Amino acid sequence: MLPSKLLELLYERMMLPNLKLVLILLLLAGVGHAQSRHPKLFETAVHSKYKPGFYTLADGSRHAGTLRIWQDLTHSVVQADQGKAEPLNLQVAELRGCVIGPDSFMVARQVAEAGDAAARPCGEVALLRVILRGQLLVLEHDQLVSGTQAPAMGVGGNMYGGSGPQHLRTWVLRPSPTASLVALPLGDQAFAQHVAGLFVAYPALCQRIRAGLEGPADFKRIIYAFMFRQDINQVSYEKAATIFP
């Protein structure tokens, strides 16, 4: 019989290549899995929250799926239900837009604030909900913010939600088919100064905005009066709410 030390040495030499092979295969499998899915975010998929629709990638390709929008204080992604605990997470920058149930969304880049070309209230890339289409395009940007990030708002302002993090709504307009998208300021003074010119086609309304008689809280009334050329004094908040939610 061979000495025990020699047997141990032969066993080690036989096992080492096999062990290396196993480790290499495991590493390759892990790399392949990591490349085939997006990073996991912070919430497990709840399938009942998803609605049928489709998304269009930046390359123009369109894909059907059951989708939802997922947000926290630092992320905003479109999630596609894969029937698993982890959904497919599509970053906004990867998309041109999407349709989720009855709602349409478009991706816009570098939307400036009215009166301040350098300001980017929606960030560098934003997912905007389409509210109204036509000569006047109305879009909504919904961002989840902490209480310390929330701006000071007047009556009827653009914050909604309960305690803790809240949603900050920013209205975005394209005044004409050839104009650029512009985000409306939240402050009364900036609104009066920079938004009036967007409605110059209706001088009476334009003058009231410039005079500070209509402000951010009157946005829906402004849109209603502009669309139907109606005296804004005759447009109630309830009536204005019928054009979009």
Digit-coded pLDDT (tens) for 179-189: 999 999 999 99
List the structure tokens of 91.
């970053």
List the structure tokens of 31.
């790399």
pLDDT score at 150: 54
d(CA 192, CA 112): 17
Instruction: Give, for 205, the enclosing helix (H) or strand (E).
Output: helix 203-210
User: Measured in Å, how far apart are the chain's first and last C-alpha atoms?
Assistant: 88
pLDDT score at 166: 85
Average pLDDT for 13-19: 47
pLDDT score at 45: 66
Residue 127: closest CA among 79, 65, 189, 160: 79
Average pLDDT for 78-105: 94
More confident residue, 21 or 49: 49
d(CA 50, CA 75): 18
Kindly tell me if the per-residue pLDDT of 191 is higher than 80. Answer: yes
* Residue 35 dihedral angles phi and psi, to the nearest 5°: -75, -15
Average pLDDT for 124-140: 95
Average pLDDT for 32-41: 44
Torsion on CA atoms 176, 182, 185, 191, rounded to nearest 10: -30
Total residues belonging to the chain = 245
CB 87 within 8 A of CB 79: yes
pLDDT score at 161: 55
Bridge pairing between strands 95-100 and 159-160: unpaired
d(CA 85, CA 150): 33
d(CA 64, CA 56): 9
Work out the pLDDT band at 120, boundaries 50, 70, 90. Answer: very high
User: Which range, of 28-42, 58-72, 131-145, 167-181, averages the lowest pLDDT?
Assistant: 28-42
More confident residue, 147 or 31: 147
Average pLDDT for 53-60: 97
pLDDT, mean over the chain: 82
